[in-house]
Amino acid sequence: MEQQKLFLKNCPLCNKSNFSNFYKYHHIIDIAYSYCNSCAIVFQNPTCSKQEWNNSYKYNYRKIYDNSTTPTESSLLLQKLRAEFYSYIIKFQQSRLQVSFGC
Ligand SMILES: [Zn+2]
């Protein structure tokens, strides 16, 4: 089933509309992230509805990425590395903002 793209116009955390493109890649489908300039959260944008996310994680996610119904060791390691990568990017962007405000 094709998922509907839902373009967010406001941050899902702080509801502000001041965000920028953060990161985009293609893995099975095109995936793009936005970075909120107000609260620094990174979120997938476009995304899909809550019901579509629930169904996707419940029925499809592990089958697509792990060929399993439970997370594999390699999948858990990948998620850990991904979290570290995004944490590094966020810290870099925050330090860049601090420099621009300080000048
Ligand atoms: Zn925000």
Q: How many CB atoms lie within 10 A of CB 26?
A: 8
Residues by chain with Cβ below 5 Å of ion ligand 1: 11, 13-14, 36, 38-39
Local structure of 25: helix, strand or coil: strand
Q: What separation in Å is there between the alpha carbon of 69 and the centre of ligand 1? A: 33
- Could you list the beta-strand ranges (E) of 1-103: 19-27, 29-36, 42-44
Q: What separation in Å is there between the alpha carbon of 86 and the centre of ligand 1? A: 16
For the entire predicted model, the pTM comes to: 0.56
Q: What separation in Å is there between the alpha carbon of 18 and the centre of ligand 1? A: 8
Side by side, the strands of the sheet bearing 29-36 are 19-27, 29-36, 42-44
Q: How far is CA 28 from the centre of its chain?
A: 15
What percent of the chain clears pLDDT 90, i.e. is strictly above it? Answer: 43
pLDDT average, residue stretch 5-24? 92
Q: What separation in Å is there between the alpha carbon of 12 and the centre of ligand 1? A: 7
Q: Where are the domains of the chain?
A: 1-48, 50-92
CATH of segment(s) 1-48: 2.20.25
Q: How many CB atoms lie within 10 A of CB 30?
A: 10
- Using the predicted structure, report yes or no on whether residue 1 has a pLDDT greater than 60: no
Convert the pLDDT of each residue in 26-77 to its tens digit. Answer: 877 788 999 999 999 999 999 988 898 888 888 888 888 788 888 889 989 9
Q: How far is residue 21's CA from residue 44's CA, in Å, rounded to a whole number?
A: 10
Q: What separation in Å is there between the alpha carbon of 33 and the centre of ligand 1? A: 13
